[in-house]
């Protein structure tokens, strides 16, 4: 079975590596273009999936968008039997979905139909879910709406950040993908339609949506900090300058919303109910540092007001 693999971020790499370990024939990889980095934007950095593909000699396609006759011709030359999508970042049109002889499947980081969309990991943490997992879905023209071939569930640790959960789900996704391919190859895969009553949406997280509202309760604020760690970073302002917060937990202390109640090894800030204790910060233009270092550098003090 010839496979074409669609993926971009590091989340996708374990799935590609699992396919190669299991000796599936990966005919090609489709990923996003190299990204310019550095002050002059002159250094092009390839996506992690491209680096892995080139290491083992797999052809790579890098369209700006996966549309048009040129892209379809390149994809057709790979002669895929099956397409696999893992965190690719583009919506695939029917012409692409129907090109592989056996269609396309997607490795999705939630237990569908819960959290369809671009940011299932963040939204699971924001909602305080106790369980999440991986769904292997047969793709159709809708938004993560196709029938599910295989699921693996896992508990969600109450203190887990989005970054830590993404790493864990990347490995779980690789396992689930290999399981699903075994079911498909053996003819045992039974696509299960998603229950419309259970659908929740997980839209993309932007910087504006990561701003903290200190009138919310401390438990909600702590989940927001975890959900946006490492990116885009939950943030607030001090003297009109943005500051990102990391390593937060709710406490029983009380004070006015946004008021710095103490500033030592931890920053404790009043909330709508309770208070938020923070271990790390990232002031504008600086790297991530401990609260203690920020306090010693006179970046913040008890009695300051965050907004």
**What percent of the chain lies above the pLDDT cut of 90?**
95
> Using CA atoms, how far apart are residues 238 and 245, in angstroms rounded to an integer?
12
Quickly count: other Cβ atoms within 10 Å of residue 286's Cβ: 13
Same structural domain, 62 and 144: yes
**Residue 303 falls inside a structural domain:** no
**Residue 18 falls inside a structural domain:** yes
Residue for token pair 């083992």: 56
Token couple for 98: 């129907």
Same structural domain, 118 and 190: yes
* pLDDT > 90? residue 138: yes
**Residue 235 falls inside a structural domain:** yes
pLDDT digits (tens, 9 = 90+) for 220-251: 999 999 999 999 999 999 999 999 999 999 99
Residue 7 neighbours by CB under 8 Å, 6+ apart:
13, 15, 16, 29, 30, 31, 47, 49, 85, 86, 87, 88
* pLDDT > 80? residue 62: yes
**Residue 62 falls inside a structural domain:** yes
Q: pLDDT grade, residue 194 (50/70/90)?
A: very high
Work out the mean pLDDT of the chain and round it to a whole number.
Answer: 96
Domain end, chosen from 157, 176, 198, is at: 198
**Residue 156 falls inside a structural domain:** yes
Length of the chain: 307
Domain that holds residue 292: 208-296
**Residue 123 falls inside a structural domain:** yes
Please, which residues bridge with residue 159 across strands? none
**12-38 mean pLDDT:** 95
Same structural domain, 162 and 45: yes
CATH code of the domain covering residue 43: 3.40.50.170
**246-266 mean pLDDT:** 96
pLDDT at 257: 98
> Using CA atoms, how far apart are residues 190 and 198, in angstroms rounded to an integer?
20
Q: How far is CA 82 from CA 79, 85, 263, 279, in A?
A: 9, 10, 56, 46
CATH code of the domain covering residue 270: 3.10.25.10
pLDDT digits (tens, 9 = 90+) for 77-117: 999 999 999 999 999 999 999 999 999 999 999 999 999 99
Same structural domain, 27 and 49: yes
Domain end, chosen from 180, 198, 216, is at: 198
Q: Phi and psi dihedrals of 155, rounded to 5?
A: -65, 150
Same structural domain, 62 and 113: yes
pLDDT digits (tens, 9 = 90+) for 154-191: 999 989 999 999 999 999 999 999 999 999 999 999 99
> Using CA atoms, how far apart are residues 119 and 204, in angstroms rounded to an integer?
5
Domain end, chosen from 166, 198, 230, is at: 198
**3-9 mean pLDDT:** 96
Same structural domain, 191 and 249: no
> Using CA atoms, how far apart are residues 93 and 142, in angstroms rounded to an integer?
10
pLDDT at 38: 75
**Residue 134 falls inside a structural domain:** yes
pLDDT at 41: 76
Helices (H) and strands (E) in the chain, counts: 8, 15
* Chain centroid to CA 195: 24
pLDDT digits (tens, 9 = 90+) for 39-50: 777 789 999 999
Residue for token pair 């994809």: 75
108's enclosing H/E stretch is strand 104-108
Same structural domain, 190 and 214: no
Structural domain tally of the chain? 2
* pLDDT > 90? residue 148: yes
Does the predicted model carry a pTM greater than 0.85? yes
pLDDT at 268: 98
Same structural domain, 225 and 179: no
Same structural domain, 55 and 178: yes
Same structural domain, 169 and 252: no
**Residue 46 falls inside a structural domain:** yes
């Amino acid at each position: 079975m010839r496979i074409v693999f669609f993926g971009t971020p590091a989340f996708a790499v374990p799935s590609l590596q699992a396919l190669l370990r299991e000796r599936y024939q990966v005919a090609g990889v489709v990923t996003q273009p190299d990204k310019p980095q550095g002050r002059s934007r002159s250094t092009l950095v390839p996506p992690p999936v491209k680096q892995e593909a080139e290491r083992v000699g797999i052809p790579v396609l890098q369209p700006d968008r996966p549309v048009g006759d040129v892209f379809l011709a390149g994809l057709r030359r790979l002669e895929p039997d099956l397409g696999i999508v893992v965190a690719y970042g583009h919506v695939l049109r029917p012409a692409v979905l129907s090109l592989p002889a056996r269609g396309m499947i997607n490795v999705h980081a939630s237990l569908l139909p819960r959290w369809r969309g671009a940011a299932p990991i963040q939204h699971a943490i924001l909602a305080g879910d106790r369980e999440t997992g991986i769904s292997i879905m047969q793709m159709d023209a809708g938004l993560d709406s196709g029938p599910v071939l295989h699921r693996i569930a896992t508990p969600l640790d109450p203190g887990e950040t989005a970054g830590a959960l993404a790493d864990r789900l990347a490995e779980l996704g690789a396992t689930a993908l290999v399981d699903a391919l075994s079911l498909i190859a053996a003819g045992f895969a039974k696509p299960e339609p998603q229950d419309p009553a259970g659908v929740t949406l997980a839209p993309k997280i932007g910087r504006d949506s990561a701003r903290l509202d200190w009138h919310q309760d401390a438990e909600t604020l702590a989940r927001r900090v975890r959900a946006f760690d490492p990116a885009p970073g939950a943030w607030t302002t001090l003297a009109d300058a943005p500051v990102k917060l990391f390593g937060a937990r709710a406490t029983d202390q009380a004070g006015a919303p946004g008021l710095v109640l103490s500033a030592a090894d931890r920053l404790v800030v009043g909330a709508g109910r309770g208070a938020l204790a923070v271990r790390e910060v990232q002031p504008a233009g600086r790297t991530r540092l401990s609260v203690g270092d920020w306090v010693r550098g006179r970046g913040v003090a008890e009695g300051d007001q965050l907004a």
